[in-house]
């Protein structure tokens, strides 16, 4: 088994002769999510063979962002790379060392496409950022560009509200205000960091980990993005129709190790107002306060950490 200290980080850049934006595409931020890696390598093969050419701007590919997790074929090396993603002068784990290389690399670019997959059977979806705002949590001014790019990736489901909902949960959970900023930092992953540098970013969940179609979803999204941004000479991709747009609005914490779900939940399972989702250790039911969808249920959540999120349909994307 290769030791973590023997691993290295790799990015590959292709730059055209014309002026254009700087795109970066990540695969395998989580090591068992390999569809992005496969999609990236397919595009790189076309670029290297001359079948495809970057005409303007540049694209940087990172086929394997977390080589230790990839080597282990598991989600993380030492910890989840997609949380608390900041440079660290005193790195404590392998993911800190990735961050010290990756964060400056992200900051050199204008646009990020981060390719992932998920555990349960469901359809692909895109996580988008906030509306334009000057707030303290996640100030942002590229809403139109980010959402226009989301529409051409080739998938039909869009989700927003992650950071705001996570932040509201942190504020509720912590009584010591001095801890709030530290814990909010834990919610920062690749897209949040990219937005903090002045760029815009999307996370595309391409399908279930083992779905043979997921690499094709990743490949199509990369090609559509290259065309959309004008990096290759190709017709502009058309926005998808028949879309579903959800906003995360509520997070429920697990309060006790014996808090339990009443069934096996998967992301995007529908719930009606009053449906029982789980039970507290003392038998108190945890119910849906509105018609919506369960997102990111975590049967292994620790006490005083996120247990599941609820999302509502949103008609205005």
Q: State phi, psi for 111 to the nearest 5 degrees.
A: -140, 140
Listed residue (155, 157, 270, 266) closest to 213, CA to CA = 155
Decide: residue 178, CB within 10 A, 0-12 exposed, 13-18 middle, 19+ buried. Answer: exposed
Among the residue ranges 6-20, 173-187, 287-301, the one predicted with the least confidence is: 173-187
Q: Crossing angle of helices 162-173/177-186, nearest 10°?
A: 150
Calpha distance 112→60 (Å, rounded): 10
- Delineate the domains of the chain, giving CATH numbers in brackets: 3-242 (3.40.630.10), 247-313 (2.40.50)
Neighbours of 27 (CB within 10 A): 28
Listed residue (128, 186, 134, 187) closest to 159, CA to CA = 128
Tell me the pTM: 0.93
Does position 143 have pLDDT exceeding 80, yes or no?
A: yes
Higher pLDDT, 13 or 165: 13
Instruction: Render pLDDT for 27-60 as a digit per residue (tens, 0 to 9).
Output: 999 999 999 999 999 999 999 999 999 999 999 9
The band of 187, judged by pLDDT with boundaries at 50, 70 and 90, is confident
Q: What is the per-residue pLDDT for 173? A: 64
Instruction: Render pLDDT for 220-233 as a digit per residue (tens, 0 to 9).
Output: 999 999 999 999 99
Calpha distance 213→216 (Å, rounded): 5
């Amino acid at each position: 088994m290769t030791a973590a200290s023997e691993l290295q980080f790799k990015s590959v850049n292709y730059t055209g002769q014309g002026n254009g934006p700087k795109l970066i595409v990540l695969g395998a931020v989580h090591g068992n999510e390999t569809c992005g890696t496969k999609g990236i390598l397919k595009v790189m093969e076309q670029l290297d063979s001359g079948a495809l050419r970057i005409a303007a701007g540049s694209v940087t590919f990172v086929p394997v962002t977390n080589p230790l997790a990839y080597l282990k074929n598991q989600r993380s090396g030492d910890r989840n790379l997609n949380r608390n993603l900041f440079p660290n002068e005193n790195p404590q784990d392998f993911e800190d060392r990735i961050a010290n290389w990756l964060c400056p690399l992200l900051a050199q670019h204008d646009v990020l496409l981060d390719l992932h997959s998920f555990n349960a059977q469901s359809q692909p979806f895109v996580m988008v950022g906030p509306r334009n705002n000057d707030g303290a949590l996640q100030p942002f001014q590229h809403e139109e560009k980010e959402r226009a790019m989301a529409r051409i990736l080739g998938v039909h489901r869009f989700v927003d509200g992650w950071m705001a909902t996570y932040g509201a949960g942190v504020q509720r959970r912590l009584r010591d205000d001095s801890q709030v900023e530290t814990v909010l930092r834990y919610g920062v992953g690749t897209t949040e960091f990219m937005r903090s540098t002045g760029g815009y970013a999307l996370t595309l969940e391409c399908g279930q980990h083992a779905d043979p179609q997921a690499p094709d979803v990743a490949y199509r999204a990369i090609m559509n993005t290259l065309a959309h941004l004008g990096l290759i000479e190709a017709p502009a991709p058309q926005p998808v129709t028949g879309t579903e747009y959800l906003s995360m609005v509520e997070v429920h914490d697990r309060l006790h190790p014996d808090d339990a779900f009443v069934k096996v939940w998967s992301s995007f399972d529908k719930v009606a107002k009053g449906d029982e989702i789980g039970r507290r250790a003392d038998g108190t039911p945890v119910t849906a306060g509105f018609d919506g969808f369960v997102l990111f249920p975590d049967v292994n959540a620790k006490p005083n950490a996120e247990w599941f999120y609820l999302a509502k349909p949103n008609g205005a994307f």
